Amino acid sequence: MSSRHPCSTADFSRRHQLLLSGMLIAASVSAGCAAPQAATRPSIVPEIRPGVAAGYLTSQELPDSVVLLPPPPQRNSAGFAADQEISRVRGLRGTPRWTQAIVDDDLGFPQAAGIFSCAMNMPVSEQLTPRLYGLLRRTRTDAAVVSDSAKHHYKRPRPFMENHEPTCTPAKEEGLAGNGSYPSGHTSIGWAWALILSEVSPAQADAILARGRSYGESRLVCNVHWQSDVVQGRFMGASVVARLHANADFRADLDAARAEIATVRARGLKPLRDCAAEAAALAEALPPIQ
């Protein structure tokens, strides 16, 4: 591939000739030669299957959650008693926080791309930030898969299976019952995204990390995870981000996303979500953890 700038003398001469023949207008020449657009050009996102992006890491490169995590708290232990108590007091059915937890459950795209948009104070979409959008899609897969081995190994029952209380996603309960609770995959994804986004948008790091914490807490509100699931989900999210930094494709996409964010901020674009409603819901106090 040639390394020539797209507005080299030869290219400009050719464009000028096309202009004279009526095939280009002056405005398009000016826009085309203003600056290279590689930083905002969408990359091709590889897919495992239609709609599901391939991660950056191979199965051999992913951290091993069975090796890294301790076993979940055993019955009759202090740890399990704490999990049960936190699960009991965190029911917030019918409140704005419950509604927010339902929103947070949806990790499908394009909806999931905007989870941190209020914290970042900017829109995130395939149209406006295609490289960031692709980065989120690919890292979602890495941060989800990284927890699978421990989930399958421990097969921990979820809170609603123990306390028989409602969840915020009743239609998903059958599938959740067959998928181990430990660690929380949603939390792993949310915390991985929080760490990644705090790198590319450092001025908003505190708000982003706070949103990453509240995102994991939504799994407690939903009655689908124990507190220890959420804590270790954050650990696995951090472990996969640490490993991603050794991947050249990830680092390149990180740089491209950073450039996109700067462009969006220069345009003064704001989030497409109701950030006031989200802030009010997340400000709703959860009962303290003892």
Q: Which residues are catalytic?
A: 186, 219, 225, 229
Q: Please answer whether residues 159 and 226 qualify as being in contact, where contact means their C-beta atoms are separated by less than 8 angstroms.
A: yes
Of 110, 138, 144, which is closest to residue 124 (Cα–Cα)?
110
Residues paired with 47 in a beta bridge: 53
